[in-house]
Amino acid sequence: MSIQSWNFHGLGTPWTFQFLKNLVSLNKPSIIFLVETLSKKDKVGKVKKAIGFEGMFVVDCQGQGGGIALLWKNKDEVLLQSYSINHVDVVVSLQGWNQFRLTGLYGEPNRAKRKSIWDLIRHLHSQIQLPWCLLGDMNNVLCQSDKRGGCLYPNWLIRGFQDVLDECDLQDMELHGYLFTFERGYGTHKWIKIRLDRALVSKSWSECYKDAKLSNLKTSTSDHIPILLEPNTICIPLSRHNLKFENAWLREPVCRQIVQTSWNREYNASFQVKIKTCLEEVSAWGSEFTGNFKQRISRLRKSLTVLKVLEMRRRFIDIRKLQKT
């Protein structure tokens, strides 16, 4: 199970839609929280269908901005509790996992209205008995080191956000990978980097999922970078099995060389010993050569996704330059 969150600034471009499909294909999340959809329910429904999800709850955009959506893989695993233009609160009941409360949160962009979000968190906290996780674009930082470039972040906003976390006994999860989730003015003297997207969890949630990991997915077609929450990242070892000889190895010159070298090295050994030694060395090479295909394919797909995003950005910048001229 994993949960993905992304402020993707709408479905206005085909590469944003394709990038989202690629993220789902690579990370296979059970739940996705989308912020600033800039869309109505019917358009988000097309996204749900395209990625093969069954469940969806959408809060339509207001005018030209906003809009949030929660999508989940299997329709019977999520139960809606409450919602507003800034949040979707659900109970998650996945088979084999501890039941917990999940709140997808979109922090108020208007700083003058930020207190309303803090009061919303307090209100939700007073109602929640289950282990609790808040995930999304908080539109706030917890310390000055969460921001680089531009003016200092207002201290009253930092203190207000910190007070909410203290009152509600919420922990800010460590973000693995790139430290920032929002960028503006990339490559210029006005380049600003901020960590706005995060996961906040209750003590009971962190005790249920002690090995949980929050990762920055590094690339994006938006100015926000997607984040991925994996409640349990323990790898379960596969059972051992005998390696079978693959006919494809016969086409590899290295395989022939390994057999020849192994056989000649055991010149005075018995036939059985030669076979055993040769098999061990070919098996070790073969395991490295053809093993972990899924992992290798996954790495290549991720690299391809990064290249696609970089190419999209380059094209977008070129278009902007042409428009200015």
pLDDT at 280: 77
- Furthest-apart CA atoms within the chain: distance in Å: 86
Angstrom distance (rounded) from CA 265 to CA 56: 64
Bridge partners (DSSP) of residue 100 are 92
Bridge partners (DSSP) of residue 34 are 6, 69
Alpha helices by DSSP H, listed for the chain, are 14-27, 41-51, 114-127, 155-167, 203-208, 253-265, 271-290, 293-324
Residue 169 class from Cβ within 10 Å (0-12 exposed, 13-18 middle, 19+ buried)? exposed
Domains, the chain: 3-236 (3.60.10.10), 247-290 (no CATH)
Residues 6+ apart with CB under 8 A from 130: 91, 99, 100, 101, 204
Angstrom distance (rounded) from CA 100 to CA 295: 30
82 close to 101: Cβ distance less than 8 angstroms: no
| CA-to-CA separations, 35 to 19, 88, 150, 289, in angstroms, rounded | 15, 11, 24, 42
Mean pLDDT of successive 10-residue segments in the chain (325 residues)?
90 78 88 93 91 95 89 94 97 89 96 96 93 97 95 96 97 94 87 96 94 87 90 52 61 74 68 75 70 65 73 69 65
- Amino acid symbol at 261: T
Closest CA to 57 of 97, 89, 25: 89
Angstrom distance (rounded) from CA 56 to CA 73: 9
pTM for this entry: 0.73
308 close to 15: Cβ distance less than 8 angstroms: yes
The dihedral region occupied by 159, where left means phi > 0, alpha psi between -120 and 50, and beta the remainder, is: alpha
pLDDT at 266: 59
149 close to 191: Cβ distance less than 8 angstroms: yes
179 close to 154: Cβ distance less than 8 angstroms: no
192 close to 184: Cβ distance less than 8 angstroms: yes
